[in-house]
Amino acid sequence: MRNFDENNITEAVLERVQLAPSARMRDISTALVRHLHAFIREIEPTFEEWEAGIRFLTEVGKLCSDTRQEFILLSDTLGASMLVDAINHRLPKGATETTVLGPFYVENAPVRELGADISPGMAGEPLLVEGTVRAADGGPLPGAIVDVWHSDREGYYDVEHYDAGGEVAMRARFKADADGRFWFWTIVPNFYPIPHDGPVGRMIHAQGRHPYRPAHVHFMIAAPGFQTLVTHVFVEGDKYLDSDVVFGVKDSLVRKLERRSAAPVHGRRIDRDYAVLAYDFALAPAVVKQAVPA
């Protein structure tokens, strides 16, 4: 095979990948080549533009580190992450809706006792987060693992302060009690821009968009026999709910922050007014997963 031009190059590349030993790899390669070539045919990039694209992707890769994943940001801001999420969560009725994982999840967050304060000494309005975990088609799930993380009142996550000596905060894992209930203390999070000092930030800017996400608390909830739930609970009234830069907001995930007066609650004597964010989660039963290609 030779003499490739714009009329026959796509077929030539497709033919070349048909010998992939894995059928899944063959299907993915075939789709990748067809859609990549269709994109190029549609925009007809100049060399300078194609080189700019190569430089952009190179810079995205270079910026990735243990605490920053610029390619996830790219996937999130192009709506790709929410699409992958939707495709993988054709959920049964009654199950809590899902949203993106985002780039700030950290595995193996500290395990804390129910009622613990995960942001001790931090500036901000005190927040009690409470809720229950149950099966979408049944009763409570005692012992469910509730992994939570969120931003501070200025919109930063702990990992964004690690380089400056910051420690783990505003993140922890809890074990739901015998009734599937959990509760913990923290501070009210704020809206925030995704990290936008890199190539993805430049892209967003060039697309005429803002880089903000509305205030939310992340949840990853796991129980044996159920699909692990990855979602957020958003704070009602946030000005970015309708323009989340990563397209993650769903009405069913928005909750009002209830304000309560100082009083003893959940074993803690709280001496000033505080907010409460309550959500009851419903997990979908586990499904047999597709095999991952070799």
In the region spanning residues 67 to 86, those forming contacts with its own copies, defined by CB under 8 A, are 69, 71-72, 75, 78-84, 86
Bridge partners of 140? 134
**Smallest distance, its own copies to C-beta of residue 176, A:** 24
Cβ atoms 12, 34 nearer than 8 A: no
- Residue 110 makes contact with its own copies by CB under 8 A: no
- Residue 122 makes contact with its own copies by CB under 8 A: no
Residue 12: other Cβ atoms inside 10 A: 14
CA distance 264 to 245: 39
CA distance 244 to 32: 28
Query: Of 29, 124, 201, 276, which lies in the binding site for its own copies, with binding defined by CB under 8 A?
Result: 29
CA distance 283 to 294: 30
**Smallest distance, its own copies to C-beta of residue 111, A:** 24
- Residue 136 makes contact with its own copies by CB under 8 A: no
Q: Is 170 helix (H, G, I), strand (E, B) or coil?
A: coil
- Of 151-190, binders to its own copies (CB under 8 A) are none
| 167 or 251: CB nearest its own copies | 251
Choices 149-157, 206-214, 218-226, 261-269; region in contact with its own copies by CB under 8 A:
206-214
Pairing of strands 274-283, 258-260: antiparallel
- Residue 261 makes contact with its own copies by CB under 8 A: no
Nearest to 119 by CA among 215, 185, 218: 185
Question: What burial class does residue 230 get, using C-beta atoms within 10 Å of its C-beta: 0-12 exposed, 13-18 middle, 19+ buried?
Answer: buried
Pairing of strands 216-222, 212-213: unpaired
How many amino acids of this chain bind its own copies (CB under 8 A)?
82
| 71 or 162: CB nearest its own copies | 71
Tokens 């009734």 belong to residue:
179
- Residue 94 makes contact with its own copies by CB under 8 A: no
| 51 or 271: CB nearest its own copies | 51
Cβ atoms 245, 194 nearer than 8 A: yes
**Smallest distance, its own copies to C-beta of residue 181, A:** 28
- Of 217-256, binders to its own copies (CB under 8 A) are 241-244, 247-251
State the sign of the Cα–Cα–Cα–Cα dihedral 153, 159, 165, 169: positive
| 37 or 112: CB nearest its own copies | 37
CA distances to 33, 50, 157, 159 from 96, rounded to whole Å, are: 36, 42, 25, 27
- Residue 278 makes contact with its own copies by CB under 8 A: no
Cβ atoms 137, 92 nearer than 8 A: yes
- Residue 111 makes contact with its own copies by CB under 8 A: no
Q: Report the C-alpha dihedral over residues 281, 220, 108, 199, rounded to 10 degrees.
A: -160
CA distance 283 to 163: 36
- Residue 287 makes contact with its own copies by CB under 8 A: no
Choices 153-161, 168-176, 184-192, 285-293; region in contact with its own copies by CB under 8 A:
285-293
**Smallest distance, its own copies to C-beta of residue 183, A:** 27
- Of 40-59, binders to its own copies (CB under 8 A) are 40-50, 52, 54, 57-59
**Smallest distance, its own copies to C-beta of residue 57, A:** 5
| 167 or 242: CB nearest its own copies | 242
